[in-house]
Amino acid sequence: MSTIYIAVIGVVGFIATTLLTAILIPTLIKAKAGQNIREDGPESHLKKAGTPSMGGIAIIGGVLLASIIGIAFSGGSFTGNLWAALCGFVLFGMIGFLDDYLKVVKKQNLGLRAWQKFGFQLLISLAFAFYISTMSPYGTQVYVPFWNHFVDFGGWFIPFIVFTILAMVNGINLTDGLDGLAAGVTAIVALFFVMLAVNAGAVQEALIYVALSGGCLGFLVFNRHPAKVFMGDTGSLALGGAVALTAIVMKMELFLPIVGIIYVLEALSVVLQVGYFKASGGKRLFKMAPLHHHFEKSGLKETVVVLIFWLITLAFCFIAMLSI
């Protein structure tokens, strides 16, 4: 399959998501699905209150449409592993949708309880880990970047995969706090995996990732500053699922913490903030967590923080490419 065809599927993902988002925004406004803004957050964010959320519905629709078209017109069919990844993508999106629906439509501030949200994520992660460990032709082996060898994780494979999925899903969820941040970073990460998949001859995985990258860019048409719509947990959890699960199918999961360095730093900042707060009796390590809010509180404009995080992602993708 030519790289031109793969690029065309990315364009399909872009157009489909752009159109779906344009159609979805009036519906979200009519449903009064407006975002709630933290009162202790940056003052510049207060004016964002009421901006339609749950835009991730359009991302899911656009990515699925482009992925299915990509396979249908390529004359092939998805392997079971890829269908499992796409199902996981949708299921994580459904968890986010339920949480968003309770918070922004039903106005139940807490949404899903933490244990409910984590419990659903854990069930999906465990099911996928068990499936891959038994159905993947590589079994419990994982490719190690820079060393360029596969290592058999044996009995540690399932806990490792579960941790990887949960870390990525929640890392992207935490990254989604500034206009265009999560969508832009994920578009870059997905594009890296397109190149990695093409290099490895994993055409189907390349099609999913290019659809994902196109979908994120299509959403950015409306989500760039000043955002007309937010993806909500519907989008961020779905993106986390798509990025992580497809990488796991490729056995390239150890690339995730490298190219997804922003996700890692965002999640780590929250963990450190909470741990330091408890250990110090109420002191804060950062001015505010996740990390992007710390930089805003330090005086950087939202658009500058987003651009810096995009550039950091590009730099780490370049580093990861050098390892191949």
Tell me the pLDDT of the chain averaged across its residues: 93
Question: Three-state SS for 188?
Answer: helix
pLDDT of residue 44: 64
Quick: pLDDT tens for 251-300: 999 999 999 999 999 999 999 999 999 999 999 999 999 999 999 999 99
Q: What is the pLDDT of residues 74-103, one digit of tens each?
A: 776 677 888 999 999 999 999 999 999 998
Question: For residues 109-144, b (16+ Cβ closer than 10 Å) or e, as one string?
Answer: eebbeeeebeebbeebbeebbebbbeebeeebbbbe
pTM of the predicted model as reported, rounded to 2 decimal places: 0.95
Quickly count: other Cβ atoms within 10 Å of residue 180's Cβ. Answer: 23
Distance from C-alpha of 204 to C-alpha of 126, rounded to nearest angstrom: 23
Is cis: bond before 226, omega within 30 of 0? yes
Residue 169 exposure: Cα atoms within 13 Å on the Cβ side: 30
What is the sign of the dihedral through the CA atoms of 92, 306, 265 and 212? positive
CA distance 161 to 144: 14
Q: Which of 107, 84, 74 is nearest to 246 (CA)?
A: 84
Pair 219, 257: CB distance under 8 Å: no
| Residue-level pLDDT at 261 | 98
DSSP for 14-68, written as a single string: HHHHHHHHHHHHHHHHHTT-BPP--TTS-GGGGGGTT-B--THHHHHHHHHHHHH
Residue 87 contacts by C-beta under 8 Å, 6 or more apart in sequence?
none
The pLDDT score that the predictor gives to residue 302 is 96
- How much is the pLDDT for 80? 84
Question: Could you report the per-residue pLDDT of 141-198, keeping only the tens digit for each?
Answer: 999 999 989 999 999 999 999 999 999 999 999 999 999 999 999 999 999 999 999 9
pLDDT range class, residue 39, cuts 50, 70, 90: low
